[in-house]
Amino acid sequence: MIVAGCDIGSLSAKAVIMSNDDILASHVIFAKPEPEESAREVMDAVLKKAGISADDIEYCVATGYGRNHVTFVDGSESEIACHGKGAQWVMPDVRMVIDIGGQDAKAIRLDENGNVIRYAYNDKCATGTGRFLEIMAGALDVELEEMGEISLQAKNPVNISNQCVVFAETEIISLINDGRDLSDIISGLHRSMAHRVASLAKGIELETNITMTGGVAKNKGMFEALKDALGVELRKMEADPQVMGALGAALFARQAANGNKKA
């Protein structure tokens, strides 16, 4: 049985194809202006990687903010449920998932079967999201992918006092003009963002086995800052954390194709 999941986010689109209990292929692209365009492009790419055609897919589920605008799928699921299911499939003992997406941040508590017990999310403000880091990278004139490594070199991280993106950007420019070290500024940004996300997670009660999903999980500096802000162990995922939503969608697709039996 071959199934697929596609996760259409605000900054990226991800897709995963599974055959029975194996991942055949996964792929990530930058999001296009229209969710349908993103979904078709990422699915075409992952099908090519897997060496199969769309006709070979028995069931496909969409997730992410653009899921309701994808016309070629068989169903859709919330990204909260998908990130939880995908993460626990990779790490069966995980009981909490923290996902920092392009336009929101989510903390998700899970039971032993990967079902969502409680969750909390912030989608009202860009602070605490991938978009925040993207804006700050532009203000600092550094590549987004370089921020993690740069921040790990910090000796005296700055304190970012502003929670609003607009004011935080102004504060960053002032710090640059004051001659503060780039690594200290970026480390301060990570810490500020981490405390905001950790507060979200603590609001629904921390679990002992916690992992991080989403593209921001690849940022080593942000990962370390979040671990410190949580005050508990944050387990690094060996699989690609950015495709966990798409993987969860593929698992829901498999469950639906099996007649809604446990995936």
Domain positions in the chain: 1-91+241-263, 93-236
Convert the pLDDT of each residue in 5-64 to its tens digit: 999 998 899 999 999 999 999 999 999 999 999 999 999 999 999 999 999 999 999 999
- Could you tell me the CATH superfamily of domain 1-91+241-263? ATPase, nucleotide binding domain (3.30.420.40)
pLDDT for the residue 167: 73
Reported pTM: 0.91
How many whole angstroms separate alpha carbon 252 and alpha carbon 263? 7
CATH code linked to domain 93-236: 3.30.420.40
Q: What is the mean pLDDT of residues 146-164?
A: 88
**Could you identify the residue written with the tokens 């609003």?**
164
Q: Which of 37-46, 85-94, 171-180, 211-220 bottoms out in mean pLDDT, i.e. has the lowest?
A: 171-180
The C-alpha atoms of residue 72 and residue 75 are separated, in whole angstroms, by 9
CA-wise closest residue to 1 among 254, 236, 222, 181: 254
Instruction: Report how far residue 131's alpha carbon sits from residue 129's, in angstroms, rounded to the nearest whole number.
Output: 5
What pLDDT was estimated at residue 162?
Answer: 66
Task: Give the mean model confidence (pLDDT) for residues 119-132.
Answer: 76
pLDDT, tens only, 206-254: 988 999 999 999 999 999 999 999 999 999 998 999 999 999 999 999 9
- Name the strands in the sheet holding 210-213, side by side, starting at the edge strand that comes first in the sequence: 116-122, 105-110, 96-100, 210-213, 234-235
Q: What is the CA radius of gyration of the chain?
A: 19
Which of the four pLDDT bands, split at 50, 70 and 90, describes residue 129?
confident
Residue 170 tokens read as: 């102004």
Mean pLDDT of the chain: 91
Domains 1-91+241-263 and 93-236 share a fold: yes
- Residue pointed to by tokens 């919330």: 78
Average pLDDT over residues 144-172: 85
